[in-house]
Amino acid sequence: VHGVQYAKIEQCCSGVVPLLIVDALFPGEVPFGKVKLAASNEYDYMKNFKVLQAVFAKLHIGKVIEVQKVVRGKFQDNLELMQWFKQFFDEHWKGGSYSVPSRLRTLSSKENLPRGGGRR
């Protein structure tokens, strides 16, 4: 996601990047008040993916995410998930603008964000 600097794909295990992608595609559908933007442990990651799954259900998106695998931060599991999100984004993006830094500034006024994203 442009504007979020992660050094490794494994850092997507927090669920924040998938939620930002869904927010870009379906503005206003992600209840960020329930999202732990500064998630730093598997418990918080699971909560973020629970929010993502609820949004998927609301939007009738049939993707099943193996959350137990993804939150462990393993390369292959996160790579496969982000490859799916890339395809999903390409199929649903209607163009326009979405500024992740701006969106995160708005959201971070409610919660402190780590610099450079989640887990390393």
Residue 3 above 60 pLDDT?
no
Burial class (CB in 10 A: 0-12, 13-18, 19+), 35: buried
Which pLDDT score, from 0 to 100, does residue 38 have? Answer: 86
Burial class (CB in 10 A: 0-12, 13-18, 19+), 46: middle
Q: CB of 85 within 8 A of CB of 21?
A: yes
What tens digit of pLDDT does each residue of 9-48 get? 999 999 999 999 999 999 889 999 899 988 999 999 999 9
- Give 91 or 3, the one with higher predicted confidence: 91
Taking the model in full, what pTM does it have? 0.82
Which pLDDT score, from 0 to 100, does residue 118 have? Answer: 43
